[in-house]
Structures are given as structure tokens and as C-alpha cells.
């Protein structure tokens, strides 16, 4: 099991999980490997896939490249990677941690083999030593987990607000044949996780997100920077209403300098991530999470930005097409009115994550594995 926290294109070409028969999973490195490959586990952690978390919990050897093992990845630290810990005690496995900052080694999770240095240089020495070997039993288990615990959600009903996942999946669908031309930034919050979960990342450096500091308002300025640096790319900022509000006035910059970013606002009128934590951990004692938003469409238009609003899943395909095909030399905003959704709670072990209600029976089986 290999877990990445980097995006270096040269490394991803040298050290492909396909060659070493290693499944891979990452957050900051989304796109370093093609997620349509059957070995891709997408990302692990409290907002990750259940099958990635189960793979981490069952792996005898974990290779971590630049990962910090933060709480969003490990969940309950004492219950993280039990199989690797057991294998280490028996002298046949454990955790191999490549990390450039010595302070991060053994800070959260003990590594049996810590390697301090630049990941590119370290892997250049390691790659010639790798010999692929079939692991059919292991991949059979992974295929079963993928079947039992997929990313899923209930589609919106006629007349109801669309689900945020539907918006991300429609974006994925309409860009599936040109992922190499796309850069996506995100703000911070639920929308960031839905983007990670429901968009299929296929190319290195195609996602720009704040996965460490988690700075709200990150999406739009990052999109502007990406578009200036790569004007030939289609740059989309997937944002939430609260996160977008932190830096919304940067639309004026994009408009003034003809920076053709595309801003996709998933508006649920809440600071959704905080709201759900108050729901899960604070007995629904809500405080300062409901947003009284401006009219984002009128706000954008006041700055000379073309803007539109999508009310339902029925009109989503046509609206998304218009959004994506709008003049690439000018900014455009689309506001999508969406429902709320829940996420995985913190403080739990990876195999205890909350799954969609439709997977209730599978969840019972998953939680009894350890």
C-alpha cells in the first residue's frame, strides 16, 4: 500500500503503482495517478473512500511519500494501520516513511523505516530495486471492498434541490475527454471533499487545494493564479458559498484583467462542514453557521462577470455546458442551489467511518473487521 502527498510529475512517471503492483491513495496528490485505473483507491482518511481506509487497515506494508499522517488521514491514531503494526512486530512489514522534514518523522505514527530527504532523489534510488509481483488475493479483497463500499448518495427528487455530488459528477462527465486541459481549484469545506470524491482525477497537478492549513477563500485566488500561469488551460474553482464569500471580490480582479476563470459555487446557505460537526458532536447546538448570502449572480454581474444560476438537476446539464463553453478569456460564475449532506466524523478509527444509509448492512460488517 502506497500513500502519496505529492504531485511531482517526474516522480509519478518513475514510480508508478502499476509497475510495482501497489494500490495507491492520496489527497494532496490527486491526479498523480489515473483514478480510472482499477488499482486506484482514490483518497484515504475521514473523508476518503471506505476501500482506501480498509486497505490501509489491512496492509502489511505502507509506503508513505511526504505524508504528515495528520488526523484527517489517521482518524484515531491508536487504531491506525493495525496490520502494518502487527507485521512490524513480527519483523515482516511496517511503515516506510519518506519525508523531507525530520520533525514530521515519528511525530504521529511510528515508522519502522524513516527516510529523510527529497522524495524525488530518494525514489530515484529506490525505483531500480522495485520488482513487481502479482498479489491476486490482495487485489481480490480490494475489488470486493470497492463493490461493497462505493462512494454513493441519494439522487435528488423531482422538484427538490440538487445534490452537490450531482454537480461535481456533471462537471466530471462533461470534461471526461479533456481532463488534460483542466485545472480545478477548491475552497475549503464540504465542497472540497465532494470534489475530491466525485471527480475522477487523471492528470498530475490538476487539483489545487489547501489540504493542510485549510484556508477558506483559497479557491478563487488560486484559480486566478493558475489561469495566469497556464492561460491555455480551462480553470474551474469549485467553491462553497461560505468559502467563496471570503475572497469573492477577487472576481473584480479577474474581470479587470480578463482572466477567464470559471467559478462554480455550491450554495447550501451554511458553513456546511462546521454545521455538520455541530450536528454530530455538539447535540445540534448550532452557532454562527447559517449564511445570509448576497445574491451571488448579481454580485458577479456588478463586477462585469457573466453569471448564471442553476436551480435543479433537470437543468444542470444544459447550464453546465453553457458554463464550460463560455468565452475562455472572460470570467464566468455559476451558482448551484444545493442540499446539505453529512461527512465522516473525526476521532474515529478508519474502519469506523460513517457510510451512506444505503450501505448500513455493509457498514456493520466493516466495523466488525477489527
Phi, psi angle pair for 315, to nearest 5°:
-95, 0
Question: Is pLDDT at 261 greater than 80 in this prediction?
Answer: yes
In a domain, 352, yes or no: no
In a domain, 260, yes or no: yes
Burial class (CB in 10 A: 0-12, 13-18, 19+), 92: exposed
The pLDDT tens digits for 93-128 are: 999 999 999 999 999 999 999 999 998 888 888 878
Indicate if 181 and 312 belong to the same structural domain: yes
What pLDDT band is residue 269 in, cutting at 50, 70 and 90? confident
In a domain, 232, yes or no: yes
User: Model-level pTM?
Assistant: 0.86
DSSP annotation of 98 reads E
Pairing of strands 332-337, 182-186: unpaired
Question: Is pLDDT at 246 greater than 50 in this prediction?
Answer: yes
Residue of higher predicted confidence among 353 and 104: 104
Indicate if 190 and 141 belong to the same structural domain: no
Question: Is pLDDT at 367 greater than 60 in this prediction?
Answer: no
Q: Which helix (H) or strand (E) holds 146?
A: helix 136-148
The pLDDT tens digits for 211-243 are: 878 899 999 999 999 999 999 999 999 999 999
In a domain, 275, yes or no: yes
DSSP annotation of 334 reads E
Helix, strand, coil distribution of the chain in percent, nearest 5: 40, 15, 45
Alpha-carbon distance 174 to 153, whole Å?
20
In a domain, 158, yes or no: no
Indicate if 10 and 122 belong to the same structural domain: yes
Q: How many distinct structural domains can be found in the chain?
A: 2
Indicate if 122 and 173 belong to the same structural domain: no
Question: Is pLDDT at 345 greater than 60 in this prediction?
Answer: no
Indicate if 46 and 102 belong to the same structural domain: yes
Alpha-carbon distance 121 to 14, whole Å?
11
Indicate if 175 and 57 belong to the same structural domain: no
Taking CA atoms, 18 is separated from 23, 120, 132, in Å, by 8, 18, 9
CATH number at residue 304: 3.40.50.970
Alpha-carbon distance 209 to 192, whole Å?
8
What pLDDT band is residue 281 in, cutting at 50, 70 and 90? confident
Residue of higher predicted confidence among 77 and 26: 77
31-35, 72-76, 190-194, 365-369: least confidently modelled range = 365-369
In a domain, 157, yes or no: no
The pLDDT tens digits for 7-38 are: 555 555 555 665 666 777 777 878 888 888 88
Query: Looking at residue 370, what is its pLDDT?
Result: 46
Q: Which residues are CB-contacts of 139 (< 8 A; sequence separation ≥ 6)?
A: 23, 38, 39
Indicate if 204 and 315 belong to the same structural domain: yes
In a domain, 353, yes or no: no
Indicate if 139 and 182 belong to the same structural domain: no
Alpha-carbon distance 100 to 112, whole Å?
16
Q: Which helix (H) or strand (E) holds 239?
A: strand 234-240
In percent, how much of the chain has pLDDT > 70?
86
Domain that holds residue 139: 2-148
Query: Looking at residue 278, what is its pLDDT?
Result: 72
Indicate if 141 and 186 belong to the same structural domain: no
17-21, 148-152, 301-305, 351-355: least confidently modelled range = 17-21
116-130, 174-188, 237-251: least confidently modelled range = 116-130
Query: Looking at residue 8, what is its pLDDT?
Result: 52
CATH number at residue 61: 3.40.50.1220
Bridge partners (DSSP) listed for residue 306 = 332
Indicate if 112 and 41 belong to the same structural domain: yes
Alpha-carbon distance 367 to 370, whole Å?
7
Mean pLDDT of the chain, nearest integer: 86
Question: Is pLDDT at 305 greater than 60 in this prediction?
Answer: yes
Q: Is 82 helix (H, G, I), strand (E, B) or coil?
A: helix
Query: Looking at residue 344, what is its pLDDT?
Result: 43
Q: Which residue has the cell 451571488?
A: 296
Query: Looking at residue 162, what is its pLDDT?
Result: 92
Query: Looking at residue 229, what is its pLDDT?
Result: 98
Alpha-carbon distance 40 to 24, whole Å?
6
Query: Looking at residue 16, what is its pLDDT?
Result: 62
Pairing of strands 234-240, 182-186: parallel
Residue of higher predicted confidence among 271 and 313: 313
Give the highest mean pLDDT range of 72-81, 87-96, 188-197, 275-284.
87-96
Indicate if 132 and 180 belong to the same structural domain: no
Of 87, 118, 148, the position where a domain reaches its end is 148
Indicate if 313 and 244 belong to the same structural domain: yes
The pLDDT tens digits for 198-218 are: 999 998 889 999 987 889 999
In a domain, 13, yes or no: yes
Amino acid at each position: 500500500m502506497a500513500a502519496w502527498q505529492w504531485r511531482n510529475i517526474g516522480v509519478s512517471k518513475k514510480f508508478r503503482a502499476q509497475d510495482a503492483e501497489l494500490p495507491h491513495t492520496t489527497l494532496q496528490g490527486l491526479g498523480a495517478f489515473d483514478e480510472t485505473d482499477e488499482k486506484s483507491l482514490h483518497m484515504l482518511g475521514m473523508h476518503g473512500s471506505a476501500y482506501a481506509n480498509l486497505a490501509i487497515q489491512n496492509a502489511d506494508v505502507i509506503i508513505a511519500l511526504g505524508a504528515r499522517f495528520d488526523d484527517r488521514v489517521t482518524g484515531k491514531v491508536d487504531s491506525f494501520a493495525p496490520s502494518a503494526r502487527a507485521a512490524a512486530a513480527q519483523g515482516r512489514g511496517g511503515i516506510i516513511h519518506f519525508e523531507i522534514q525530520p520533525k514530521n518523522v515519528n511525530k504521529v505514527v511510528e515508522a519502522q523505516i524513516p527516510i529523510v530527504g527529497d522524495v524525488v532523489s530518494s525514489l530515484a534510488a529506490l525505483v531500480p530495486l522495485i520488482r513487481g509481483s502479482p498479489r491476486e488475493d490482495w487485489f481480490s479483497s480490494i475489488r470486493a471492498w470497492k463493490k461493497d463500499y462505493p462512494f454513493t448518495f441519494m439522487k435528488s427528487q423531482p422538484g427538490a434541490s440538487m445534490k452537490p455530488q450531482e454537480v461535481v459528477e456533471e462537471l466530471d462527465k462533461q470534461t471526461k475527454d479533456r481532463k488534460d486541459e483542466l485545472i480545478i481549484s477548491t475552497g475549503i469545506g464540504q465542497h472540497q471533499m465532494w470534489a475530491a470524491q466525485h471527480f475522477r482525477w487523471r492528470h498530475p497537478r490538476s487539483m489545487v487545494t489547501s489540504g493542510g492549513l485549510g484556508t477558506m477563500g483559497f479557491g478563487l485566488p488560486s484559480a486566478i493564479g493558475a489561469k495566469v500561469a497556464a492561460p491555455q488551460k480551462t480553470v474551474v474553482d469549485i467553491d462553497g458559498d461560505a468559502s467563496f464569500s471570503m475572497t469573492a471580490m477577487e472576481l473584480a480582479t479577474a474581470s479587470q484583467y480578463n482572466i477567464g476563470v470559471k467559478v462554480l459555487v455550491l450554495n447550501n446557505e451554511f458553513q456546511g462542514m462546521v454545521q455538520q460537526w455541530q450536528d454530530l458532536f455538539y447535540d445540534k447546538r448550532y452557532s454562527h453557521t447559517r449564511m445570509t448570502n448576497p445574491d451571488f449572480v448579481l454580485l458577479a454581474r456588478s463586477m462585469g462577470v457573466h453569471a448564471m444560476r442553476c436551480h435543479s438537476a433537470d437543468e444542470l446539464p444544459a447550464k453546465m455546458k453553457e458554463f464550460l463553453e463560455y468565452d475562455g478569456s472572460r470570467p464566468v460564475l455559476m451558482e448551484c442551489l444545493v442540499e446539505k449532506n453529512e461527512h465522516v466524523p473525526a476521532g474515529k478509527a478508519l474502519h469506523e467511518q460513517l457510510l451512506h444509509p444505503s450501505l448500513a448492512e455493509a457498514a456493520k460488517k466493516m466495523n466488525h473487521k477489527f
